[in-house]
Amino acid sequence: MRDATERGPEIWLRGPVAAPEAEGPPGPAHARATARSFSWIGLHGGAGVSTLAAVYGGHDGGRAWPAPTAPRSVLLVARTHAAGLDAVLPAVDLFRRGEAPHGLDLDAVVLVADAPGRLPRPLAQRVRRIESVIDVYRVPWVPDWRLGDLGGRLPRETEPLARLTGAVR
């Protein structure tokens, strides 16, 4: 049994979620909620930060910590290949230890497919380990994005991410 001084696996507290407005035209609740602005931070080169910022909105932080004028809510981004997944937990741990720049809040990790199709079992196991410590949003392989066409419909699998970021198309 834990005593009052032991810490559990929680690494931060989440803020309140904006409730839908009581009045107004009917429509999806996420369209009426107040959208938060995020800084997308890549954990390695080619993670997809610029594409995600263009599609879902927010600040494209590249691989650097956000400047003081950028949104303080952070979404860490990595590809689902071995090197990308290996970069996630050490970055999350920076926030847990309080070593990330002051005032930044880690909201979630966004994993972008590195290839079409299912993940090989060893990579899927790494994803489950990451999901055990932080919220994870998955972005599938989108051939149109590879070709530079960012204007189409958002992938159905990313509806939770679209709600989080307020991206509505």
**Per-residue pLDDT reduced to its tens digit, 73-96:** 999 999 999 999 999 999 999 999
Q: What is the pLDDT of residue 72?
A: 95
pLDDT band for position 25 (50/70/90)?
Answer: very low
Q: What is the pLDDT of residue 168?
A: 74
Q: Is the pLDDT of residue 39 over 60?
A: yes
All domains in the chain, ordered by first residue:
36-165 (3.40.50.300)
Rounded to two decimals, the pTM is 0.79
Closest by CA to 47, choosing from 77, 91, 81, 90, is 77
Q: Are strands 59-60 and 136-139 parallel, antiparallel or unpaired?
A: unpaired
